[in-house]
């Protein structure tokens, strides 16, 4: 009951803050009880595993003790990255959601203890930034307040604090955390603003805008909303700013003059969500028009099929129109979450199902892949292909237990339990059903309480039963989303299309009688007088659909992706003897769904026949029929690191044919040192570089050893007579600190000694070509390249070939 009272108070304060607001009101997650089905076990794992696990990691890594160091003004007590405060706040937000859904006295006490640490770390005027208050000897610990806002995350941190504080207040009714947030926000409202003497710069990493609006709603204090609006207005406003941060931080022009999504994808998603908040509360059409344009740019040119954004090499952000690589897709889990938040707000502004369609695509694909079924392993990036060479996950080929920058695990913690709050919404006499999940909810529709109960096995089945129970007989419109994948539409754009875009024949009935419901903005509208116990049955057929990409996406030309219902599917090595990159799917191959309750937490797989290509000993290519199994993309990499692919070739010429084994490729490679993000296998993967600065292929480097003597060696498969090697050096002059070595030589193992080869012709250190070295033939079981790195520089190798003596 306490939670319900708190929520009513919050809703009252929204109207007190501003007369205007989103035209559509979401049903809060605390009014939705998730039943047995797809999402409840994941939410329970988040509550019982992920939350305590992440708090434990925060304790181990100093994220929590940093607040103690700040309270004690202890410069040596601060550990880690300057924005680590935000991780703790996000986990507290998730923990608050968990408390709201299920009381937990132990967790409640833990949060109170943690909040006491926050209070002790807060300075008397409300300032809270542990790296600075502790006096840490790092850059941001020594500079004055509000210095370097482009990268300091000083305001980003407290934005997450505001969200966490409001969530904690919602869940518990306690003001201990809320008062800390209010004190801090009051300080920032004094420092920043349009008045003479106030600062007019903005945070480099957006987030505070969302937090301020949420704080304004919780407290009824319009000053916080005004500050959020000010930060939005000042972004890109060079007439009133000393310095702009540029496109990376969406700060190159005022938002009303922007038309494209640019820069860092997480920052952008948070910012566009904040603009939507300000637009709703000001009814400023210029803001709405701006985010409409930017949203259309994303879904028309920059959105991955899994519903996420971002590329390696593009600053964790947008690489440009149609630049949707697969192997090096970045798709940060945080970016998926920010994109989901933005799309939900777009729905609340416009009431069109296309925004909920994108939201659903994110939830089941781009977001969900970011956390393991066990709840304690995470993806930071989420690529659409894995070749077992490119270590996409910050130096790993599978989910990691934690990261130095662990924004993604902490974001998962807070977002997953909030998902029920995205399921339903109300506008006047209209009740929207956006997500299909088992359970029940209650809300007010046009002045009267209505309860809905959903029974469904979605996303494995498209059959949904909804029991409608108004408090008294009443008339209203129930609006059921008919997803784009049912209507033959991948996205509300031509970025992707179904090979067969024929709409499925969905049906709806009320109390067993078929109803011809009008389809309005993607919603089946049931407008009638509702009685307690009325039963709505919605049947959404789930054919297996083939997806083709816009021809402007060169990386997907000649390829096909597979979907069923809201799920994107992939193939991975665990089902195909470790190899999938050699598979191609004929256009007439039929795929059959099979549900396996004992596989990957219970999934529907798709089985059929494909073809596999392989190279024969004589060098010819064989093409044979092979069984193929597709699994939901979110479930990949739960059976060890292995190859994976979403976009499958439609012809054998695009399948990856393994090269003929060579002396080098059958050897075991080791080195004196290897950078964690590199792979020793790059030495002999037979992928030819375009040049020495080629960042599109796997590489080996000795980074960050500089100016040292290093080595790399092959342990040959068997003693072999060799007489020639060829080396392609890695050199990223103009981009990094790797150079060709100062000098090098080739050694061979003779017994237990390493000896230089005789009569080597030329130990050159030239870029952009293979350096061939011939020498007097030697019989050996191992070869070693020994290098002297240039002073102050590191180095590396893209390919090292070995030739036997004829």
Q: For the segment 440-473, what is each residue's pLDDT rounded down to a tens digit?
A: 999 999 999 999 999 999 999 999 999 999 999 9
Residue intervals of the chain classified under CATH 2.60.420 are 424-539
Q: Check: CB of residue 510 under 8 Å from CB of residue 526.
A: yes
The CA distance from 678 to 272, in Å, is: 35
Look up residue 163 and give its two tokens. Answer: 């969200």
pLDDT of residue 620: 85
Count other Cβ atoms within 10 Å, centred on residue 360: 25
Look up residue 646 and give its two tokens. Answer: 């979403």
- Of 266, 260, 401, whose CA–CA distance to 333 is shortest? 266
* CATH code linked to domain 668-804: 2.60.120.260
Q: Check: CB of residue 305 under 8 Å from CB of residue 491.
A: no
For 505-545, what is each residue's pLDDT tens digit?
999 999 999 999 999 999 999 999 999 999 999 999 999 99
Those residues with Cβ within 8 angstroms of residue 292's Cβ, 6 or more apart along the chain or in another chain: none
pLDDT of residue 5: 32
Does 16 score more than 70 pLDDT?
no
Does 2 score more than 90 pLDDT?
no
Look up residue 431 and give its two tokens. Answer: 């009740």
The CA distance from 290 to 361, in Å, is: 23
For residue 208, is it left (φ>0), alpha (ψ between -120 and 50) or beta? alpha
607: β partners: 592, 629
Query: For 617-643, what is the mean pLDDT?
Result: 94
Residue intervals of the chain classified under CATH 2.60.120.260 are 668-804
- Of 583, 607, 584, whose CA–CA distance to 595 is shortest? 607
pLDDT of residue 18: 46
pLDDT of residue 10: 37
Question: Given this structure, which CATH class describes domain 424-539?
Answer: mainly beta
What share of the chain in percent tops pLDDT 70?
98
- Of 273, 262, 355, whose CA–CA distance to 311 is shortest? 262
For the CA atoms of the chain, what is the radius of gyration? 29
Model-level pTM? 0.91
The CA distance from 757 to 775, in Å, is: 6
Does 619 score more than 80 pLDDT?
no
The catalytic residue positions are 316, 407
Count other Cβ atoms within 10 Å, centred on residue 8: 11
Tell me the three-class secondary structure of 256-302, residue by residue: HHCCCCCCEHHHHHHHHHHHHHHHHHHCCHHHHHHHHHHHHHHHHHC
Q: How far apart are the first and last CA of the chain?
A: 85
Q: State phi, psi for 241 to the nearest 5 degrees.
A: -125, 145
Count other Cβ atoms within 10 Å, centred on residue 700: 25
Look up residue 497 and give its two tokens. Answer: 């299309």
| Dihedral (CA of 225, 227, 232, 237) sign | positive
Q: Check: CB of residue 89 under 8 Å from CB of residue 157.
A: yes
For 180-230, what is each residue's pLDDT tens digit?
999 999 999 999 999 999 999 999 999 999 999 999 999 999 999 999 999
Give kind and range of the element (H or E) at residue 414: helix 407-415
Q: Tell me the pLDDT band of 139, cut-offs 50, 70 and 90.
A: confident
- Flag the least confident range among 8-17, 141-150, 386-395, 468-477: 8-17
The CA distance from 224 to 342, in Å, is: 20
Does 271 score more than 60 pLDDT?
yes
The CA distance from 264 to 291, in Å, is: 16
pLDDT of residue 19: 57
- Mean pLDDT over all residues of the chain? 95
Residue intervals of the chain classified under CATH 1.50.10 are 40-304+319-422
pLDDT of residue 40: 96
The CA distance from 799 to 210, in Å, is: 48
For 681-698, what is each residue's pLDDT tens digit?
999 999 999 999 998 888
pLDDT of residue 17: 41
Does 389 score more than 90 pLDDT?
no
Query: For 583-590, what is the mean pLDDT?
Result: 97
The CA distance from 131 to 128, in Å, is: 9
Architecture category of domain 40-304+319-422 in CATH? Alpha/alpha barrel (1.50)
């Amino acid at each position: 009951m306490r939670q319900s009272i708190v929520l009513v108070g919050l809703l009252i304060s929204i109207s007190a803050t501003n007369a205007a607001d989103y035209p559509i009101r979401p049903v809060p997650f605390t009014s939705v009880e998730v039943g047995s089905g797809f999402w409840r076990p994941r939410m329970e794992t988040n509550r019982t595993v992920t939350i305590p696990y992440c708090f434990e990691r925060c304790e181990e890594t100093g994220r929590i003790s940093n607040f103690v160091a700040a309270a004690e003004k202890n410069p040596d007590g601060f550990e880690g990255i300057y924005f680590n405060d935000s991780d703790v706040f996000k986990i507290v937000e998730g923990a608050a959601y968990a408390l709201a859904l299920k009381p937990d006295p132990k967790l409640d006490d833990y949060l109170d203890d943690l909040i006491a640490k926050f209070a002790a770390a807060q300075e008397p005027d409300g300032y809270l930034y542990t790296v600075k208050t502790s006096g840490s000897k790092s850059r941001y610990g020594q500079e004055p307040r509000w210095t370097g806002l482009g990268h300091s995350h000083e305001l980003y941190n407290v934005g997450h604090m505001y969200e966490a504080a409001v969530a904690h207040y919602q869940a518990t009714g306690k003001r201990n955390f809320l008062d800390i947030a209010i004190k801090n926000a009051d300080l920032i409202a004094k420092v920043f603003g349009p008045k003479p003497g106030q600062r007019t710069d903005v945070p480099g990493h957006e987030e505070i805008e969302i937090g301020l609006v949420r704080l304004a709603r919780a407290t009824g204090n319009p000053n916080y909303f005004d500050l959020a609006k000010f930060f939005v207005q000042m972004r890109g406003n060079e007439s009133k700013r000393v310095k702009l941060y540029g496109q990376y931080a969406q700060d190159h022009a005022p938002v009303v003059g922007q038309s494209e999504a640019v820069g860092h994808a997480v920052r952008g998603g948070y910012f566009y969500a904040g603009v939507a908040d300000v637009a709703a509360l000001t009814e400023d059409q210029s803001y709405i028009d701006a985010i409409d344009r930017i949203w259309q740019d994303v879904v028309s040119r920059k959105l991955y099929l899994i519903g996420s954004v971002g590329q390696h090499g593009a600053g964790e952000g947008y690489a440009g129109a149609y630049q949707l690589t697969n192997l090096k897709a970045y798709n940060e889990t945080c970016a998926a979450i920010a994109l989901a938040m933005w799309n939900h707000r777009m729905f609340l502004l416009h009431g069109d199902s296309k925004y909920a369609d994108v939201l659903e695509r994110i939830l089941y694909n781009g977001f969900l892949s970011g956390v393991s079924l066990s709840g304690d392993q995470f993806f930071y990036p989420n690529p659409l292909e894995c070749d077992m060479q490119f270590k996409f996950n910050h130096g790993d080929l599978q989910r990691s237990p934690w990261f130095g920058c662990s924004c993604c695990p902490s974001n998962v913690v807070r977002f997953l339990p909030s998902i029920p709050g995205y399921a339903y919404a109300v506008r006047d006499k209209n009740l929207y059903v956006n997500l299909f999940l088992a359970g029940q909810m209650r809300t007010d529709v046009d002045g009267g309480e209505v309860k809905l109960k959903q029974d469904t096995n979605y996303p494995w089945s498209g059959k949904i039963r909804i029991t409608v129970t108004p408090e008294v007989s009443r008339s209203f419109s129930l609006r059921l989303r008919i997803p784009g994948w049912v209507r033959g539409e991948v996205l509300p754009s031509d970025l992707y299309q179904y090979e067969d875009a024929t709409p499925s024949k969905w049906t709806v009935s009320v109390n067993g009688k078929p109803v011809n419901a009008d389809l309005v903005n993607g919603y089946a509208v049931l407008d009638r007088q509702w009685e307690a116990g009325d039963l709505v049955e919605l049947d959404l057929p789930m054919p297996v659909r083939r997806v083709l990409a816009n021809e402007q996406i060169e990386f997907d030309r000649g390829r096909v992706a597979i979907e069923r219902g809201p799920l994107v599917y992939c193939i991975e090595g665990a089902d195909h003897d470790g190899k999938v990159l050699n598979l191609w799917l004929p256009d007439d191959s039929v795929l059959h769904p099979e549900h396996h309750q004992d596989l990957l937490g219970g999934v529907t797989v798709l089985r059929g026949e494909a073809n596999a290509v392989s190279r024969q000993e004589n060098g010819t290519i064989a093409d044979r029929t092979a069984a193929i199994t597709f699994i939901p993309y979110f479930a990949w990499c739960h059976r060890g690191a292995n190859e994976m692919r979403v976009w499958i070739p439609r012809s054998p010429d695009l399948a990856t044919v393994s090269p003929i084994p060579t002396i080098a490729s059958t050897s075991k490679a080791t080195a004196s040192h290897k950078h964690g993000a590199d792979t020793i296998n790059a030495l002999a993967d037979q992928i030819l570089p375009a040049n020495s600065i080629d960042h599109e292929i796997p590489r080996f480097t000795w980074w960050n050893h500089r100016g040292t003597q290093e080595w790399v060696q092959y342990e040959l498969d068997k003693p072999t007579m060799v007489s020639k090697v060829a080396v392609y050096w890695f050199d990223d002059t103009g981009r990094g600190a790797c150079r060709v070595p100062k000098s090098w030589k080739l050694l061979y193992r003779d017994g237990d000694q390493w000896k230089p080869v005789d009569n080597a012709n030329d130990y050159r250190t030239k870029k952009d070509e293979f350096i061939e070295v011939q020498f007097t033939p030697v019989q050996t079981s191992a070869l070693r390249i020994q290098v002297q790195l240039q002073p102050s520089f590191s180095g590396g190798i893209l390919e090292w070939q070995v030739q036997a003596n004829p």
